[in-house]
Amino acid sequence: MATAGLRSAPVTILPATRYRMIFPLAGPLEVLSTFGAERDGGERDHKGIDLGAPRLTPVLAVRDGVVTRVNRSSVSVFIRHDDGWSSWYLHLNNDTYLTDDGLGAGVAPGLEAGDRVVAGQVIGWVGDSGNAEPTPPHLHFELRTPWGVPIDPLRSLRGAAWVDEAIPVDFEGAFWDDDGHEIAATADLLASLALITGCSPNGLQICPDAELTGADVESLLGAAVGTEISIVDYLHLEPRPSPKQETFFADVALEEALGCGVWRYCPEQLISRGEMSAILAGAFEFEPTAADYFIDDEEYYAQAAINALAGGEVFDICTSRGPLPFEPDRPVTRAELIDAIAKALDLIPVHSCRVIA
């Protein structure tokens, strides 16, 4: 389908061509409208194929290349492949999860013109933006030659490789590994607002139960706030030992390993629930509170941050049976951070039975 701002050109029927590529959807082939079909009473022709798929189905780059354009008003992405061919992806999501409000987003967080993408990488999610509003959610996919000529991509789509044979074709939402998990709806909500990144190289997984490293936290939080985040400012690191104190380390690698997370920040180091609290309270500027919600954070450096988040209704707590443990030293999981980010942004409610002063 044509979109405002795209050049209108006559459809050229080329000989049957099979272009080797990754299938552009994390789902089966379902053609809603074919190449060359009449549009606007015969005034123009369809230059691509409409592929039906549930809203928020991931849309994937079909080949390695460079993003040439991202249109966030009509919600579309254009990629020039390394071999000179191009692929166009139109009618990406523009609605908040479970609505048709036009207030969502469908382009992967941070994706901009000039960025390199690899085949199979998530570049956005299916929707009904632009002039597709009256239709079921679908992807308008175009394949163009190095000379800019659109060709019928059906044969190429039928022969396209699947991004990963292990991925089920019937999963729901933006990620395939969270169906049935308590965080699934929240992850889809954040995806519908382009506020979340996946855990796998292609972005199809969310890894809800994986423990988070510093790099993971920076990636997730950076996508949510729309800017790069450096978490080292929120961590409690000991002063580095003097050279005399360091001389007992016979192995430099051992010294570096022991110092990781102690006197220096290491992106691969696991982040604890207490450290997550310090990061979130600082990044979102939560106000301190005099209330004390937990029984096991008295000696923890981030106790004030933990209580500030609890007071700001970022944690689900029920104190009707007395003070609760927080486990500040336990590594935080992706599901816990995703839940906390959504609540810090006031996107989902807390579930609490608070009776604490």
User: What residues does each domain of the chain span?
Assistant: 1-206, 209-344
In the numeric block, the tokens 């405002």 are attached to: 4
- Across 285-309, average pLDDT: 94
Which of 11-15, 29-33, 66-70, 124-128 shows the lowest per-residue confidence on average (mean pLDDT)?
11-15
Q: Compute the distance between CA of residue 158 and CA of residue 289 in angstroms, rounded to an integer.
A: 59
Cα–Cα nearest to 118, from 76, 191, 157, 66: 66
Q: What is the mean pLDDT of the chain?
A: 87
By CB atoms closer than 10 A (0-12, 13-18, 19+), residue 334 is: buried
Residues in the chain: 357
pLDDT tens for each residue of 337-357 = 999 999 999 999 988 775 544
**194 neighbors 108 (Cβ within 8 angstroms):** yes
Distances from the Cα of 124 to the Cα of 142, 157, 172, 295, 343, angstroms: 15, 18, 15, 43, 23
pLDDT on residue 41: 57
pLDDT on residue 324: 84
% the chain with pLDDT above 70: 85
**Does 1-206 carry CATH code 2.70.70.10?**
yes
pLDDT tens for each residue of 109-144 = 999 999 999 999 999 999 999 888 888 999 999 999
Please state the pTM of the whole predicted model. Answer: 0.88
Apex 233 CA angle, 229 and 234, nearest 5: 95
